[in-house]
Amino acid sequence: MFRVYGVSAQGGDVNSDARKELAMKTPSTRINCIGPETNPHDLTSPIAWLMSSE
């Protein structure tokens, strides 16, 4: 079985005009993690799944 996750630690395009807005965010809330049974700001979800017996 496999799963697909999308992960961005930047939280957006740092080359755009939104760069200053991204810099103002708390680093832990800039994280985006998309996948099954995933908290959107939790990078450990894919790692926890890899370590599980599923």
Domain ranges of the chain: 6-51
pLDDT score of 13 = 78
**What is the token pair recorded at 25?**
């965010």
pLDDT tens per residue, range 1-54 = 789 999 888 877 778 777 888 888 888 888 889 999 898 888 898 999 999 876
pLDDT score of 54 = 67
* Global pTM value: 0.64
- Euclidean distance between CA atoms 33 and 11, whole angstroms: 9
- Euclidean distance between CA atoms 29 and 20, whole angstroms: 15
